[in-house]
Structure 1
Amino acid sequence: MKTLLLLLIGAIPILQAEEKRALLIVVGEPGNPLYQDEFKRQAKAWQDLAAKAKMDTNTVGLGNEPADGDRPDLEKAITALPKAGGDLWLVWIGHGTFDGRSAKFNLRGPDIEATSIAELLKPFQRRLIVLNLFSASGPFIEPLAGKNRVIVSANRGGERNYSRLGEKLADSLVSADADLDLDGSLSLLEAVLHASAATKAFYDDAQRVVSEHAVIEDNGDGRATGTDKFKGLRAEGPAPDGALAREIHFLGDSADPLSPEARDERTKLEAEIEALRQRKKALKEDDYYAELETLMRRMAKLYGK
C-alpha cells in the first residue's frame, strides 16, 4: 500500500515551464539614514535575484523623490502591470503604521493604506505573492488575502517595531541551509521559515525580547498562520496555511499546470488529506492508508495520471 502511494505521488508533476513572471519592489520612506542604506541594500538584493530569475522588474521609491511623492508612481506601476500571466511578486520594504483602525505603508510623500492596495490588486487574475517586509504589517493580511494569493507579513497583530525579516529573506532565497526538506529546490515557504528563524536568532543572540513574529496566509481565509506554528513544512491547526507557498519558487519554475477549476479541487483535496493526517492516530493503519490512497488517486487524476 505504501509503495503504491509513493508511485502515485511521484506521478504528479509539480513544475512545468511557466509564463513570464514579474516583480515590483516598493521602497518606503526610510526616516533615518541607517534605514535608507539598509532598504537600498534589500532592494538591490531583490533586483539581483530577479535578474537571475529573468523576471520583469520595476522599483518604486529609489532615486530622487517626486514633487508629489511616490504614491502616484506606485499606483501607475501597479495599474500598468498585466492582469494575467505568470506569478506577480510585490515586495514592500520599509515601515508601516497602524492606529487600531487604518494600516498604512509609509511612502515618501502621502502614505498608502492597506485598503487602497487591496483595491489596486482587485483586477489581477494572476497568482500574487505579496511580501510585507515592514513594521505594523500584520493588519495588511486580511484586506490583501484572497484566492490564489500568498501574503507574508513580518509582524502579527499590532506589533509595530522595526522589522528585521526583510533583512533576512532575500539572503534566505539563496541559502542552501534554507532547503528544509533537502530536495534541492527552495520554495517560498522554506525561505520564509528560514528567514523567520534567522530573525528570532538575532533577538536571541542580542538577548532581546522578540518583537516581531512573521505570519503567512495562502488559503484565502484571511486568517494567517504564524511561522512558529510550523513543524517542518507543515503547520498545526484546523485550517493551516503553507500549501500554496510550498509550490512557489523564486529561482526556478513555479508555474501551475492546472486550470482554475482543477486548482479549486486540488485545494479541497489538500484540506481532506490534511484532515486525514490529523486523524491518523485514531485510525487503523490499513484504514488510514486506504483513505489516503483514494485521495491521492483523485489528486493524480487532476494531473491526467
Structure 2
Amino acid sequence: MIAPLRAGESAAPASSDPAIEQQLLDVIVVVGAGGTAEYATIFEVWAKKWQQNCERAGLSIRQIGPEPSDQFESAKDELQSVLAANIGGPTETEKETDFDTPLWIVLIGHGTWDGRVAKFNLVGPDASGSEFDAWLDPMKRSLVVANCTSSSAPFINRLSQPGRVVITATRNGGEHNFAMFGQFLAQAFASADADLDHDDEVSAKEAFIRASIETQRYYDEKGRLASEHALIDDNADKKGSAAELLQGQAKVKDGVVDGDFASQFSILVNPDLRPLTTEQRQKRDRLEAELQRLKQEFADRPKEELREAAIPVLLEIASIYAGPSE
C-alpha cells in the first residue's frame, strides 16, 4: 500500500504499516507521456499548479508519472496500485451523515481514440477507459475524475456512475488535437473569480465553468475555431453537459442538466482561511442540499416565500465560514 503525501513531498516507497494503509489520498494527479520536450514542460507546469492548489487547501496529493517510481515497472502499474490503495470508504460517522471524503483524479497529457477505444497516453503502456472503469469499480468513495486530454469524452461513457463527477476536455473522441482545458482547470482552482457563490472555495462545477470559458477565450484571442469543448457528467446518464447548459445559456434537449452533485466538492481558494473540518463540511453539504430542496419546493411560488424559507439556512451556512465568535 502507498502512504498519502502532503503537497510538496516526494513519493515514498510502499509501506506495509497498517496505520499508513488506512490513510487515503485526497488528490491523485497523473502526468502522461509528453511526446516532446515542449509538451512535457507544459504538463509539468499544470501538475505543479495542482501541487500548489493542494498545499493551499491542506489536501494530500500524489503525482504519478511521467516516469514510474522505482518500485514499479511502468506508470500504468503504479497508477493501478495507487488506486487500489485508495478504494477507501466513509467512516462510521460519515455513513450516519451520508458524507464521504471524495477522491480527485486528474489526468494530464495526451489522449487517443481509434473509433472504439479511448486511451490516456502514459510512458510505457497506455490506459484505456475500460481499464479505468475496472480499477475504479471497487471504489467506495465519491469520485471527481478530470480527464484533461484530447479525445477524452468517451471516458464519460465508461466512468459515469452515481456518486461520480466525470469531467472531460472534449465532447467527443474525434476532438483529437492537443487540449488546453487542463491548464485552465488547474488555474480555476486558484482563482477567486471562479468562486461564483463567494464561499472561498471553488467547486468542481465552478472550476468546470471557469475553465470552459477560459478555453473558449483562448481560441477566440488567437482567431481560431475551438477544437475542444469540455463536458461534465455527475448524474450518471452518460451524456454530459457543456458549460453553456450549466449557465442557462442553452436549452436542454432532453434529460437533466448536470452540476448539482459537482457543486458539493470544493477546494479552498482563499489562502487566508483554514480548510473546513470534516464536521463543518458535513453540515455545509446538508444545508446546501436543503437549499436545493427548497428551490424545487418553491419553484412555482412567489420568490418572497422562497427567500423567507431560505434565510435561516443561509445564515447557518454563513456561520460555518464565519468561524467561532471571539
TM-score (norm: length of structure 1):
0.76
**C-alpha distance after superposition, 1:189-212 (max 9, x if no partner):** 111111111110000000000111
Contact kept? 1:92, 1:131, Cα under 8 Å:
yes
Measured after TM superposition, the shift of residue 64 of structure 1 is 6.4
Instruction: Specify which of 43, 60, 65 is matched with residue 64 of structure 2.
Output: 60
Matched residue, 2:19: none
1:260-279, aligned counterparts within 5 Å? 277=299
Which residue identity is paired with 1:257? Q
Which residue in 2 is equivalent to 1:257?
A: 282
Aligned partner of 2:112 among 78, 91, 97: 97
**Cα pair distance change 1:276/1:34, threshold 3 Å:** farther
Q: CA deviation at 1:223?
A: 1.5
Equivalent in the alignment of 2:319: none
Which stretch of the first structure deviates more once superposed, 200-209 or 82-91?
82-91
Number of matched residues? 268
SS in 1 for 2:206: helix
1:177 matched to which residue of 2? 193
Q: How does 1:61-100 map to 2 (within 5 A)?
A: 61-63=65-67, 68-85=73-90, 86-100=101-115
Instruction: Give me the whole-angstrom Cα distance separating, in 2, the residues matched to 1:254 and 1:165.
Output: 31
What is the rounded CA distance, in whole Å, between the counterparts of 1:155 and 1:204 in structure 2? 17
Unmatched segments (≥5 aa) in structure 1? 1-18, 301-305
Cα–Cα, structure 1 residues 106 and 62, in superposed 2: closer, same or farther, change >3 Å? closer
Once residues 254 and 247 of structure 1 are traced to their aligned partners in structure 2, the CA distance between those partners, rounded to angstroms, is 15
Q: Separation in 1 of the partners of 2:83 and 2:235? A: 23
Instruction: Indicate the SS of the match to 2:51.
Output: helix
Does residue 231 of structure 2 align to residue 215 of structure 1?
yes
Equivalent positions of 1:193-232 (< 5 A) are 193-231=209-247
Show the counterpart of 2:128. Answer: 113
Counterpart of 2:240, as a letter, is A
Percentage of matched positions with identical amino acids: 33
Are the counterparts in 2 of residues 20 and 87 from structure 1 also a CA contact under 8 Å?
no
- Report deviation, 1:51: 2.0
Structure 2 residue aligned with 1:8: none
C-alpha distance in 2, partners of 1:95/1:70? 14
Q: Quick one: distance in 2 between partners of 1:254 and 1:161? A: 41
Equivalent pair of 1:30/1:95 in contact (CA under 8 Å):
yes
The structure-2 alpha-carbon separation of the partners of 1:274 and 1:231, relative to structure 1 and needing over 3 Å to count, comes to: farther
1:236 Cα offset (Å): 4.8
Tell me the SS of whatever aligns to 2:138. Answer: coil
2:40 to 28, 36, 45: 36
Task: Answer 1 or 2: higher relative contact order, Cα 8 Å, separation at least 6.
Answer: 1
2:266 aligns to what SS in structure 1?
Answer: coil
- Normalised TM-score (structure 2): 0.72
Relative to structure 1, the CA distance from residue 183 to residue 65 in structure 2 (aligned partners, 3 Å threshold; closer, same or farther) is: closer
Local SS of the residue matching 1:250: strand
CA distance in 2, matches of 1:129, 1:273: 25
Contact 1:25 1:90 in 2 (8 A): yes
**Aligned 8 A contact 2:69 2:78 in 1:** no
| CA RMSD after TM alignment | 3.4
The residue number in structure 2 matching 1:14 is: none
Contact 1:247 1:254 in 2 (8 A): no
Pairs within 5 Å for 1:12-51: 22-51=26-55
8 Å CA contact 1:188–1:246 kept in 2: the answer is yes
- The one-letter amino acid of 2:81's match is K
Partner of 2:137 in structure 1? 122
Conserved 8 A contact 1:24-1:90: yes
Q: 1:197 to 1:42 in 2, by over 3 A?
A: same
Q: Using the alignment, how far apart are the partners of 1:235 and 1:146 within structure 2?
A: 25
State the match for 2:95 in structure 1: none
Gap regions ≥5 residues in structure 2: 1-22, 91-100, 269-274, 315-326
